[in-house]
Amino acid sequence: MGNNLQRPKGTQDILPDVAQQWQQVENTANSLFNQWGYGEIRTPNLEYTELFLRGVGETTDVVNKEMYRFEKSKRDYSLRPEGTAGVVRAFIENGLHRTPKPVRLWYTGPMFRYERPQAGRQRQFHQLGIEQFGIAGPSADTEVIALAWALLTTLGLPDLALEINDIGSAADREAFRNQLRNALTDHKTALCDTCQHRYTENPFRMLDCKNPSCQTIYSGQPIQALLAKPWTNADSQAHFATVTKALTELGIPWQRNHTLVRGLDYYNGPVFEITTTKLGAQNTVCGGGRYDSLVETLGGPETPGVGWALGLERLISLLPASAPVPPDVWVAIANTSLLTQGMQAATQLRNKGYTVDTDLSHKKIGKQIDAAAKRGIKHVVLVEPEREITVKTLTTSQQTPLTDFLNQPIAGR
């Protein structure tokens, strides 16, 4: 590496041409979320580690292996590995649980997980997500799934598929875990080390393993047949049936995935993922579900919740590359003595609504015009000694006094 400083492994620089795609996604999401009644919330990147131990779950990979955790002044801190726990903490701490329900929130920002960097997965990555609080019925699940589908289809993502499952209550899973262990007894030695540990501690976490050999076992007929049997309580089954019926009526195609459990311990009831065939093995674009006990777990009143999150890096990798958008106008300034006039002209054009690039090199005017043409800029303001400031339209070579140009409507707007 020598003396050159480089970004840490698993991080990336988002340069202006790519930032345009980020802005497209963020602007689309902001507009859509506002239309659906979701308000933005911004929480710290840094939280006390206890929040994630209690909220995310001590047996999850996120907490056990991936958090950036450190001690400072005898307090245990972590960089946030996901967004929901922090939003729930803010929901409680700021008294939002006392406001009319439902409370609809959305967030975006960087998250941090120490894991092997790969396509669409970084150590510093960005999530966009929504959380809805206060509604226990299936209408809330239906709304958040429909909003996720609306966002991804509005962005034009290809080959989307919605997978959904019912994981019942904590009591359902506790009652069922021995059946799951028994069904996997003969396969235990073939499982990865992590799954062998989870076999005792938390067998449902095994189903979330991404190891191909483990997935082959879990997707086999014996395990699938066991999972397909009704093992959740009657209320949860009815809730799930209402959600999936509503999705069908809304024209959102879905399929049941009996091994879908999501990777965090706070989920219950319906959980879902939206996938695409365009990402290879890491094919999930968006995931979420219901978490009715999380607010209470983190010290608030009993409050149902449901939400989802998506990784922006992964999503943006699916969007077509966008060409840089050139400014409307180039201000060509012949020399430094005309800098003030040139910048004043640029200000007038910007106030009118044009995007403007001001030349500061003071090259010959002809070279500046050539440079503007190569960038696809349509208009060049000519600021030259002892001449009226004019605007040259490169597609027609017509020159118009700046004052007249400013009085014209902006073409195409």
109 within some domain: yes
100 within some domain: yes
Edge to edge, the sheet with strand 379-383 lists 356-358, 329-333, 379-383, 390-393, 398-401
The phi and psi torsions of 164 (rounded to 5 degrees) equal -140, 150
The residue out of 281, 316, 351 marking a domain boundary is 316
Q: How far is residue 302's CA from residue 297's CA, in Å, rounded to a whole number?
A: 9
Give the confidence band of 59 by pLDDT, cuts at 50, 70, 90.
Answer: low
In 3D, which of 383, 371, 377 has the Cα closest to residue 356?
Answer: 377
- Do 84 and 43 lie in one domain? The reply is yes
Helix, strand counts (H, E) of the chain: 16, 16
- Do 239 and 352 lie in one domain? The reply is no
The phi and psi torsions of 161 (rounded to 5 degrees) equal -140, 135
Mean pLDDT across 194-200: 86
> Domain limits at 141?
16-169+232-316
Residues 6+ away with beta carbon under 8 Å from 337:
385
Rounded to 5°, the CA angle 86-89-90 comes to: 90
Given a cut of 60, whether residue 167 has pLDDT beyond it is yes
Given a cut of 70, whether residue 346 has pLDDT beyond it is yes
pTM of the model: 0.88
Q: How far is residue 192's CA from residue 206's CA, in Å, rounded to a whole number?
A: 10
- Number of domains, the chain: 2
Given a cut of 90, whether residue 107 has pLDDT beyond it is yes
223 within some domain: no
pLDDT in tens, 8-43: 999 999 998 889 899 999 999 999 999 999 999 999
Question: Any idea what the CATH number is for the domain that residue 374 is in?
Answer: 3.40.50.800
The residue out of 316, 341, 375 marking a domain boundary is 316
- Do 287 and 336 lie in one domain? The reply is no
- Do 296 and 342 lie in one domain? The reply is no
Given a cut of 60, whether residue 97 has pLDDT beyond it is yes
Question: How buried is 387 (Cβ within 10 angstroms: 0-12 exposed, 13-18 middle, 19+ buried)?
Answer: exposed
Residue 255's DSSP bridge partners are 163
Mean pLDDT across 346-369: 94
- Do 353 and 384 lie in one domain? The reply is yes
Count of other CB atoms within 10 angstroms of residue 264: 26
- Do 156 and 71 lie in one domain? The reply is yes
412 within some domain: no
Given a cut of 80, whether residue 238 has pLDDT beyond it is yes
In 3D, which of 286, 239, 291 has the Cα closest to residue 265?
Answer: 291
Give the model's pLDDT for residue 308. 98
Tokens for 120?
Answer: 């669409």
Residues 6+ away with beta carbon under 8 Å from 333:
339, 341, 342, 358, 359, 360, 362, 383
- Do 87 and 140 lie in one domain? The reply is yes
- Do 83 and 152 lie in one domain? The reply is yes
DSSP for 136-160 reads -SHHHHHHHHHHHHHHHHHTT-SSE
Given a cut of 60, whether residue 399 has pLDDT beyond it is yes
